[in-house]
Every structure is written in structure tokens, then in C-alpha cells.
Amino acid sequence: MPAVGSYRPGDIRNIVLVGHGGAGKTTLAEAMLHRCGIITRMGTVEEANTTSDFEPEAKQHKHSTSATLLYATHAGKEINLIDTPGYPDFIGQALAALPAVETAVIVVNAETGIEVNTRRLYHAAGEMGLARMIVINKIDKVAGSGRIEELVESLKEMFGPQLHCINLPKDYGRDVVDCFDEDHGSADFGDVKAIHQEMVESVVEIDDAQMEKYLSGENIPLADLRACFIKAMNAGHVVPILFTAAKGEVGIDDLLHILVEEAPSPETAKSRRLSRKVEGDETEVVEIPCDAEKPLLAHVFKVTTDPYVGKLAMIRILQGKMDNNTQFICGDEKKAHKTGHVLKVEGRDHPELTAVAYAGDLVALSKVEEIHVDQILHEPGTANQWKAVSPKYPMPMFSLAIEPKSRGDDVKISGALHKLSEEDPTFRVTHDVQTHELVVHGVGDLHLRVMLEKMKNRFNLEVITKPPKIAYKETITAKAEGHYRHKKQTGGAGQFGEVFLRVEPLERGKGFEFVNDVFGGTIPGQYIPSVEKGVHDILSGGAIAGYPVQDIRVSVYDGKYHPVDSKDIAFRTAGKYALKDAITKARPSLLEPIVNMEITVPEKYVGDITGDLNGRRGRINGVDTMPGAMSMIRAVAPLAEVMTYNNQLRSVTSGQGSFVMEFSHYDVVPPQVQAKIVAAWKPKEEVE
């Protein structure tokens, strides 16, 4: 284990490794730990013995399934490193790590080039205001093939001319040459001197004084050039490209040097941002300077359940400092807590920090159940006006209905799922009141499989899964009137209530309106709430297929009552069936969820994919050509048709395709499809 020291903001570097699956992020992290002397022997993903992938799910699948926090020291600086999963199903884990760091290192596989998560995470890091670097890994696999030169050009074509190589491979990928160094060596491709000159020209643009020196022909000292470089990278004006072969530790020393010398510290980077309310519901985003002398503010960016220490909260200290006796308040709560033990995190290990943790550092707290992800921790006596500024997460659109494998596990499963949903912003749990199904939602089937594996491994709970019902909605497309007379006589006091009402459609997304247009006391005022309850029975339970009704105005305008037999239950029943009567006359329609899709495939499969989508009632919005003979198909399709689309895509493209989808809107179900759905519901209605 490394020594657990105390570092000031200027001596801290917070780095996240992001990129597509298979790019070698975990191996890169392992090589960095090895070069820093943290571990004595590099583990491998294949042997399931790396520092990052310590969870049983990662070992089983042979790839990262959670973001893992690591730390090391190099040249007197502390490097906090977050290794994130690369498969699109786990993108939530990568996005959640962005607010904790100053620098995003986007790792690209030299063999496979730009992939889905390369693009998505590059842009997400930019939107969060992070400095960015691109590391092209596995350069030894393609040495001498010309592949690296093509990839560099593709990266510049996709992300812009601000990308600059600051080192280059040499000796067929067995070493790298530094383009910063004045003693220019030779490289496997490109002219080192020309690349150095190109980088200098871009870097000095950020500083007028250095620009004047450059234009007048003066030599810019290396220290000044590096200072300009940091400034330019912080501003997004320059994005450096570096090269590594992590398994052989090629380029790792150079990468560590760049991270320590050129990557921004919490002190020099753009200030972290929090939002706060100003007036009413309006908010403003405020930059929080990294000042260790100000009152404590800390952001909980990740929460996990550790089998040994219980709840573990990973925290970015935004300002102030923290030690083992620090008092703090979680979010809007009133109760103060004491840190007890401030921890550092090295994969599965959590050594205690015996000194002070200053602003800018990443630490962890354990056993404080009141801490939740995205909370802001603050000192007692200071108002909590702050909210974290989070990345935009994809909506989890892949769902499974689950039920306990063992009787009596319902409560335990609910508790376990709640803990897991705190760990992953793209994992949600809902209870469908119509079907009484417990439904888990994730980014894809692999995501949900892994989350359920975690539940089994950590909590010894197993479930049976099945596809859930699609969340259709019911609505109307015309005006109509409905009537129902409820009369029940069973001896003694009876039940009587009669209701007349009108319905009319509202604009899509407007929900529901209830209007009381009764005059003259035909329905006494005390029974109107009962009528409305009956209306809500249909709104939640459906009138034609058992799905919630939306975008409808219901106006009750007449009725009759009996001075003895009228009761709340009678008018609730009359209201329910009067609305059902009206809806059946108002040209009822089913609405279905529509999703936006981005499908990335090799060009040769575009025809197969577009044809398949057309057969799934999809609509193609465009096809974009991408570098590396790839194409991105933009489409919209009904969720019901693409719930298991990943299986089809994998089959058609031999595993070379990937896709993302997000909820777009609700739209009308075609008549022939609606007829099948309605017919399938009717037998159930008759039984009930």
C-alpha cells in the first residue's frame, strides 16, 4: 500500500480514464500504479487480478463494471485516478466520475479506433469544462501498418484541429519520443520538428505576450511553453494526443510526467461548479474556488456498499479541509455528523488518512448512512444552498420485471435494489401499480445482468426475470358524453348514484383536468369528490386496454341522487363507469413510447440495419459517415419493437455494431397493433 499523505491543492492531480470498452484503461491504470511503485507486479484483465477490477462481476466478465478510485504519488505529486468501465451499458459510471476531476484522459484502442464511447465521453468531458487528453493505447499491436497515422487524422477530423500530438511512437511502438523536448529525435511517423512547431503555434495563441515573442522570432523557454500549454489545455484550446502500449509499459513514464507537469491541479483548473436557487425556481451556476481556508464544501460523487465497511461515500472536497474530527451536515439535513475516519481508496483497500485532506482531494467516508450520492456536505452553521451540477445521463430504457426466487425476500430485495440504484445513476427501480410488477431499468441487458449479479454476490438474493409490459398510455381523439346509473338494492339501505359527464382531448402532455359543471344540486356537493375518485379509477386502470389514461378533460354536468340510498361509494362507481362509457365513444387511442436511436455500424451493414428498422416500424432520420469506414444511423422507433434490439444488432453485425437510445416522446399506436393489444386485455377484464 502507498503511504497516505496530505497534499495541498497545487500538488494534487485528479484524473479520470474514459473511453470505449477494450481500449485498455484498466491495464493503463495498472501500468501507472506499477511505475509509481504502488504495486510490485502488474496484474492483467485476463487473469482477473488487477487493482481496479476487484469486484466479482468484473472478474467474471473480464472487463470493468464499476468506476474504481485509485491513487499514487509521482514526483512529489498525488495522482487520484478513476478507472471507469468502457462498455456503453455502463456509461453512467463514467459520467458520474467527471465532476470529481480536472482532467479526462480519453483512451483509444489503436486497433479499433474511434468507437461509440470515445465520441460520447470526449464531448461529455468538454461539456463539464474538463481539460482533455487523448491516449492512443496498444500502439505495439499496429506498429508499421500506417494505422496510427490514419487514426490521428480521423481523431482530428472528428474532434477538430485543436488536437496535437505531444509525443510520437518510435522503434515500432517500443518507445515514444517527446515533442516538447528541444532535442528532437526520430519517430515511427511524422516529422517531430514540424509537429513541435505546430503545437507551439497553437499553444502561444492563448497568451498575447508569448505570441508577440513567437512572431518576433524570439525563442520561448520550455518553462514558458509548458505554462502556456497548461493554460491552453484548461481552456480547451489544445487537446494533446499521447501514445502508450500499457501492457509493455511503453509511454507510461511520459504520460505520468505530462499528468504531473502539464495536467491542471485543482488550484489551476477551472473552478468546480455548483448551482443554487436565486428566485423562485430559478437557479444560477456558481464557480467554487479551490480554497482550503474557506468553510467546508464537499461533493459526494459516488456511493457504494462495501461488504466489510458498509456504506462507502467517495467525496471530492471542493473547498475547506477535512480530518478525522470534522463536523459536517449532509445536504438539507439538520443533524451534524463527525467524519470519524477519512479514508483514501485504492481499489478494494481503504487505508485511513491520518493527516488533513485539503480542498481538491478525493477521499472517502464510511458508515454514515445519511450520506447520499450528489449531496453537498457542508459545515454546521452554514446554509446548504448548493446543488451539484451533474452530467446529462442517458435515460435507462432497457427493463426487466423481477420477482423473488425465494418466498419472503420481497423486503430484502427492495432494500438491496435501493442500495444498488444509489451506486449507478442509470439504474432505476419502479413498481408498476397496474401490473404489480417490480421493474428494474438500465441502459442495456448487460447492465441489468451485472446489477442483478451484484445483488446475488453482495446480498445473496436471487430473482426471476421476465420482459415487463410496455408502458402504453390511453387517450381519446374526439369529444363524447358518458352516463352511468348505479342502483343496488340488497335489502335495507341501498346504493344509488347517477352521473352524466363529457370528455374532450387535451394537447399531448397536458395530463388531466376535472371540471365540476353541475348546477342546481342535481349531484350534491359532498358527492363530487367521490365522482372524481371514480374518474381517477379509470385514469389509472384504463378503459380499453388497462393502461393509464392521459391528455383528457372530464366535465361532470348532471346527475341524480336519492336522499336515503345515495352514498360516496355509489357516486364513485357511477363516475367510474360514466367515464368508461364516454371514452369508448370518444375514439380511444393507445399511445406508445418512442425512442431516439443512434446505431454505429461498419458501412457494409447500413442497408441491413435500415431494412431491419423499417420492419420494426422505425423511421430513419439520417445516416452520417464516420472515420474508419463506420456509419452512424439516426432513427426513431417504438420501444416495443426495439426492447431486445441489442441481440439483433449483435447478430447482424457479428458484434461490431453498437447503439444508444433515449426516450423521445409518446405517439399513437397503429390501429392494427392497437387491436391486438386491446384484444389481449379483454379476457383479463372479463375474469375480473
Q: Are 591 and 667 in contact (CB under 8 A)?
A: yes
Beta strands of 575-644 (E only): which ranges? 588-602, 619-626, 630-638
Residue 247 forms part of a structural domain: yes
Whether 1 is covered by a domain: the verdict is: no
- b/e per residue, 412-445, with b = 16+ CB within 10 A? ebeebbebbbbbbbbbebeeeeeeebbbbbbbbb
Q: What is the tens place of the pLDDT at every residue in 263-287?
A: 999 999 989 889 888 777 788 889 9
Asked, for residue 410, whether it belongs to a domain, the answer is yes
Is the Cα torsion angle 457, 458, 462, 466 positive or negative in sign? negative
Percent of the chain surpassing pLDDT 90: 64
Cβ–Cβ < 8 Å for 524, 483: no
Domain boundary among 586, 619, 642: 586
The pLDDT score that the predictor gives to residue 683 is: 43
Position 79 scores a pLDDT of: 97
Please enumerate in sequence order all residues whose Cβ is within 8 A of that of 289, keeping only pairs 6 or more positions apart, or say none.
271, 319
- CA gyration radius for the chain? 30
In 3D, which of 334, 424, 568, 439 has the Cα closest to residue 89? Answer: 424
Lowest average pLDDT, out of 56-70, 424-438, 457-471, 559-573, goes to 424-438
Q: Is position 133 within any domain?
A: yes
Q: Which domain holds residue 550?
A: 474-586
Amino acid at 387: K
Task: Give the number of domains in the chain.
Answer: 5
Alpha-carbon span 85 to 64, nearest angstrom: 5
Same domain as 128, residue 19? yes
**Is there a single domain that holds both residue 496 and residue 644?**
no
423 and 570 housed in the same domain: no
Q: pLDDT at residue 235 above 60?
A: yes
One domain for residues 608 and 665: yes
Last residue of a domain, one of 469, 493, 523: 469
The CATH number given to whatever domain includes residue 499 is 3.30.230.10
The per-residue pLDDT for range 448-488, each reduced to its tens digit, is 999 999 999 999 999 999 988 788 999 999 999 999 999 98
**Higher per-residue pLDDT: 217 or 347:** 347
Give the separation between CA 531 and CA 554, rounded to whole angstroms.
11
Helix (H) or strand (E) holding 516: strand 512-516
Q: What is the pLDDT of residue 3?
A: 54
Q: What percentage of the chain's residues is helix, strand, coil (to nearest 5)? A: 30, 30, 35
Q: What is the CATH number of the domain that holds 667?
A: 3.30.70.240
Cell 371540471, residue located: 515
Question: Which grid coordinates belong to 197?
Answer: 512547431
Q: Does 437 lie in the same domain as 522?
A: no
Contact 247, 238 (CB under 8 A): no
**Angle ∠(64,44,345) on CA atoms, nearest 5:** 55
Amino acid at site 80 = N
Q: Are residues 173 and 48 in the same domain?
A: yes
- 167-212 per-position pLDDT tens digit: 999 988 899 998 876 566 788 887 788 888 888 888 888 888 888 8
More confident residue, 490 or 547: 547
| Average confidence score pLDDT of the chain | 90
CA distance 426 to 94: 11
| Predicted confidence band of residue 685 (pLDDT cuts 50, 70, 90) | very low
CA nearest neighbour of 560 among 531, 583, 580:
531
Q: What is the pLDDT of residue 627?
A: 66
| pLDDT computed for residue 236 by the predictor | 86
Closest CA to 504 of 536, 549, 470, 461: 549
Q: Is 548 inside any structural domain? A: yes
Cα-based angle 178, 181, 186 (whole degrees, multiple of 5): 55
List the single range of 205-214, 353-362, 571-580 with lowest mean pLDDT.
Answer: 205-214
User: Within this chain, do residues 325 and 370 fall inside the same structural domain, yes or no?
Assistant: yes
**Cell numbers for 14:** 485528479
Q: Is residue 686 part of a domain?
A: no
**Cα separations in angstroms, 144 against 22, 114, 140, 169, 627:** 21, 19, 9, 10, 20
- Domain stop point among 362, 385, 408: 385
Look at residue 217 and tell me if it is in a domain.
no
Q: What span, in angstroms and rounded, lies between the C-alpha atoms of 417 and 402?
A: 11
Displacement of CA 556 from its chain's centroid (Å): 45
- Residue 83: CATH number of its domain: 3.40.50.300
pLDDT band at 491 (very low <50, low <70, confident <90, very high): low
Task: Please tell me whether residues 244 and 105 are part of one structural domain.
Answer: yes
Q: What crossing angle do the helices spanning 192-204 and 222-234 adopt, rounded to 10°?
A: 60
β-bridge mates for residue 298, sequence order: 317, 377
pLDDT of residue 434: 61
Using 50, 70 and 90 to split pLDDT, how confident is the model at 614?
A: very high
Q: Which residues contact 2 (CB under 8 A, 6 or more apart)?
A: 36, 37, 38, 71, 72, 73, 346
CATH number for 415: 3.30.70.870
Task: Band the pLDDT of 1: cuts 50, 70, 90.
Answer: very low
Any domain includes 225: no
Candidate from 90-94, 322-326, 628-632 with smallest mean pLDDT: 628-632
User: Rounded distance, CA 444 to CA 432, Å?
Assistant: 20
The predicted pLDDT at position 77 comes to: 96
- Report residue 535's pLDDT band, with 50, 70 and 90 as the boundaries: very high
Beta bridge partners of 499: 484, 559
User: 236-250: per-residue pLDDT in tens?
Assistant: 889 999 999 999 999
Q: Are residues 462 and 481 in the same domain?
A: no
What was the pLDDT predicted at 671? 94
Which of 137-141, 433-437, 556-560 shows the lowest mean pLDDT across its residues?
433-437
The string of pLDDT tens digits covering residues 6-38 is 899 999 999 999 999 999 999 999 999 999 999
pLDDT at position 257 over 90: yes
Give yes or no: residues 465 and 481 share one domain: no
Nearest by Cα to 400 from 385, 417, 388: 417
Same domain, 481 and 449: no
The answer to whether residues 154 and 46 belong to one domain is: yes
Order the strands of the 495-505 sheet from edge to edge: 480-488, 495-505, 552-560, 512-516
CATH number, residue 352 = 2.40.30.10
* Dihedral (Cα; 304, 307, 310, 311), 10-degree rounding: 0
E-assigned strands of 93-237?
A: 103-109, 131-137, 163-165, 167-170, 175-178
Q: Are the CB atoms for 350 and 366 separated by under 8 Å?
A: yes
Q: Which residues contact 379 (CB under 8 A, 6 or more apart)?
A: 295, 296, 320, 327, 328, 329
